[in-house]
Amino acid sequence: MLTKNHVVDEADEIIVSLSDRREYKAELIGSDERSDLALLKIEADNLPVVKIGNSNQLKVGEWVFAIGSLFSSIFLLLQELLVPKEEVYLMGPILLMFLLSRPMWLLIQEIRGAPLFNLEGKVFGINSQIYTRSGGYMGVSFAIPIDYAMDIFKPSLKKVVLLQGVVGSKHQEVPRILLKV
């Protein structure tokens, strides 16, 4: 399971809660602070497995949605719209989305680390963060492309190898044109 590193980085014990209320103790297999990603493992039978998409195949204007849980009990579905990737190339390996269901904006912060799906049900990203000029709950949502996340944790035999020196971050003001899209 992939999630956000800041959620588990200082935890003494990691518990994964499923939608059917089953809980499992998780093992931290690997983490990467720079991308804020962590890889977890649980011992369980008959778990559903998501289909992994190819982030490079996303199209401009494609609908995507995120599923996550708020306070470990309420499951949310948030609808978003992918904007042109060529307008965000300076942001590095990050997908840029506008949250369309504005009343739900407050909740997006609670599902960072949740998978981002396309309408075919394939995972294309991991919800990462939001950007807001006002400090309020409106603005732009960001996700880490799944291809990029999968490259960070490459399996080698029976253990995970972390690829160091590949991940980076660059912070900058979002151009005004993006705020009008």
3-class SS letters over 123-162: EEEEEEEEECCCCCCCCEEEEEEHHHHHHHEEEECCEEEE
List domains and CATH numbers for the chain: 2-164 (2.40.10.120)
Strands 95-99 and 115-118: unpaired
- Residue 83 scores a pLDDT above 70: no
- Between 88 and 58, the higher pLDDT residue: 58
pTM, whole model, 2 decimals?
0.66
- Between 56 and 53, the higher pLDDT residue: 53
3-state SS, one letter per residue, for 43-79: CCCCCCCCEECCHHHCCCCCEEEEEEEECCCEEEEEE
- Which residue, chain included where needed, has tokens 């590095």? 92
Per-residue pLDDT tens over the stretch 120-152: 888 888 877 766 677 665 556 677 888 888 888
